[in-house]
Amino acid sequence: MPGDTLRLGLIGDNIRASRSPLLHRIAGEMLYIPTVYDRLIPADLGQSFDAVFADCAATRRGINVTYPYKEVAARKVTVDDPLVRAIGAVNTVLFEPEGPKGQNTDFTGFKAAYERVRGEAAPGTVLMIGTGGVGRAVAFGLAGLGATTLRLVDRDRAKAEALAVELREAAPAMTVEVADDAEAAGRGADGLINCTPLGMEGYPGSPLPRAAMAGGAWAFDAVYTPEDTQFLTDAAAQGLQVISGWELYFYQGVHASQLFTGQGLDEAVLRARLRED
């Protein structure tokens, strides 16, 4: 209700530079809902994820969850949407009287970000490096966008193999392959995606050499702090159309805000205000 303080937060390990508090503060101002949105880093609080989550359940309307807790969070909530259950990761939790409910606005946010930049262009054959929480959401998003082939690479091959099995069941029209060598798997790919922490503040670098990007059509990096990662800078230098992690940040936040408040936002106004700050 307008006038009541909306208490929210973000649980993650490397979130000091996160701009999610800014997005939700501005969203609250636009909706005339006083909003508190805190960064909650379990190590800094001297607590486990479970303890922080339990405290949030008692004191907050909802939370966002980021690396490396999205899959852990999925096991602590009820997920009504069967597709989100299949993803196996949640980034948005609502604390309801009947218990915590989980959603995944990374999934919807990626699809919206892709369509904003590429319109109705098909994803084609895609290499995705990293199959953790955000990678799972992006993979299912690619299925929804009509990708023909998805090649998965992860340092933990078992994680990639498990995701491949789930994708083949949920999206039989999409060919799913697992590879160990990202550079080799990128040959002939239309889309190149980074869903690893590489490139974010505290994790410098890129999971793919610049030369290996030649011939691609588009690239997406889930990292948004900084926005101009080495991965995207290299992709742009090779002539690929770039979808920044900022777009995913924006749309997952818009969709999470609607879940938290039950109200929509003027996206153009929110986008302009975020770019000003």
Catalytically active residues, by annotation: 69
Structure tokens at 232: 């995207």
For residues 115 and 108, give the distance between their C-alpha atoms in angstroms, rounded to a whole number.
11
Cα 39 to Cα 8, 22, 97, 177: the distances in Å are 9, 11, 24, 37
Could you give the 3-state DSSP secondary structure of residue 232? helix
Please give the full DSSP string across 13-44, using - where no structure is assigned. SS-TT--HHHHHHHHHHHTT--EEEEEE-HHH
For residues 97 and 83, give the distance between their C-alpha atoms in angstroms, rounded to a whole number.
23
Cis peptide bond upstream of 123, omega within 30: no
Structure tokens at 20: 């999610």
**Where are the strands (E) in 133-275, listed by range?**
149-153, 175-179, 191-194, 218-221, 241-243
Sequence-distant (6+) residues with CB within 8 A of 130 are 153, 154, 194, 195, 196, 207, 222
Cα 205 to Cα 93, 201, 232: the distances in Å are 31, 10, 11
| Beta partners for residue 150, in sequence order | 126, 176
